[in-house]
Amino acid sequence: MKKYNPTSPGRRQATVVSYDNMRKNKPHKSLVTHLQKHSGRNNQGRITTRHQGGGHKKQYRMVDFKQNKIGVWGKVERIEYDPYRTSFIALVIYSDGERRYIIAPDELKIGDKVITAEDAELKLGVRTSLKRIATGTFVHNVELAPGRGGKLGRSAGTSVQVLGNEEKYTHLKLSSGEVRKALSSCLATIGKVSNPEHMLTVVGKAGRARWMGVRPTVRGTAMNPVDHPYGGGEGRTQRGTRKPKTKWGKITGGRKTRKKKNRTNKLILKRRK
């Protein structure tokens, strides 16, 4: 982490992740595109996600979550910052000359080699099927269905632990504490995701949040009774409602939101805490 001298109230508490070891290059031109901003609005123009909008201009890096170049060695050309995700990304040049972005595992360095193969040596950055990976190993970018690309373990500092194999399934323990099954033929990359210090970042001031595209959030207790179930009263008051509610009176906190008849319920062995 990088701290600053307290030259202003905003600098006093703010911390950032250090990018000193990263190349200050522009992203690889053929692997970036522009995503249109919607500021939390749907196709009718109505806000469906509050507190989004504005923010600095940014380009989307097309990350390869499938890593389906089977048996082709790749060399890490550089490690880069990605404004659209919390983890770092690595630019890999393969032996056939193609370049792709992948999620960078923690401790991956420039010049390291990566590969997707069934017979490769099990080491950091190697992508292979779950049935080959030893019990207790930490992996990331794990598929839930073969060939559909990684879905689990993609954010900064996260990992999925392999607990063992049972018939055609592999038992996985997620960062949340949930234990679930996935087909043993699904692919996963060995290692934890980079940038584990992301969760220690302190924004420090409201302006920096606006750079990130986060608009102001007003507490429900600060509103009037007409605007929120928590609103009104003289001074600081209690919640005044038995269960925590949203602005629209919907019960939240302690209420399960997962569909009771979700087809993947049978794959979950232990729910998260």
CATH superfamily label, 2-199: Nucleic acid-binding proteins (2.40.50.140)
Q: In the predicted model, what is the mean pLDDT of residues 188-195?
A: 97
Please give the pLDDT value at position 22: 79
Please name every residue paired with 182 in a beta bridge, in sequence order, or none if there are none: 170
Q: What is the domain partition of the chain in residue ranges? A: 2-199, 228-267
Q: Which distant-in-sequence residues (6+ apart) come within 8 Å of 258 by Cβ?
A: 265
> What is residue 257's predicted lDDT score, i.e. its pLDDT?
85
pLDDT at site 254:
83
The tokens describing 164, both together, are: 């063992």
Instruction: Indicate if the pLDDT at residue 232 is higher than 80.
Output: yes
**How is 77-140 classified by DSSP, letter by letter?**
EEEE--TTSSS-EEEEEETTS-EEEEEPBTT--TT-EE-B-SSS---TT-EEEGGGSPTT-EEE
Q: What is the mean pLDDT of residues 194-214?
A: 95
What is the total residue count of the chain? 273
Query: Per-residue pLDDT averaged across 175-198, rounded?
Result: 96
From the list 233, 229, 231, the residue with the least C-alpha distance to 250 is 229
pLDDT value for 143: 97
Model pTM above 0.75 = yes
- pLDDT tens profile 6-29: 999 999 999 999 888 777 778 999
Across 199-222, average pLDDT: 95
Instruction: Work out the average pLDDT over 151-176.
Output: 96
| pLDDT for res 24 | 75
What share of the chain has pLDDT > 70, as a percent?
A: 100
Distance CA 233, CA 6 (A): 38
User: Phi and psi of 171, rounded to 5°?
Assistant: -85, 130
CB distance 54 to 122 below 8 Å: no
Pick left, alpha or beta for residue 195 (phi over 0 → left; psi -120 to 50 → alpha; otherwise beta): left
What letter would DSSP give residue 178?
Answer: -
- The number of beta carbons lying within 10 Å of the beta carbon of residue 177 is 10
Q: Which long-range contacts (CB under 8 A, 24 or more apart) does 27-34 make?
A: 27/59, 27/61, 27/80, 28/91, 28/99, 28/101, 30/99, 31/61, 31/62, 31/91, 31/99, 31/100, 31/101, 32/59, 32/60, 32/61, 32/62, 33/59, 33/60, 33/62, 34/59, 34/60
pLDDT above 90: residue 113: yes
For the chain, give the mean pLDDT. Answer: 94
> Residue 103's pLDDT is what?
97
Comparing 93 with 258, which gets the higher pLDDT?
A: 93
Residue-level pLDDT at 21: 76
pLDDT for 130-141, tens place per residue?
Answer: 999 999 999 999
pLDDT surpasses 80 at 253:
yes
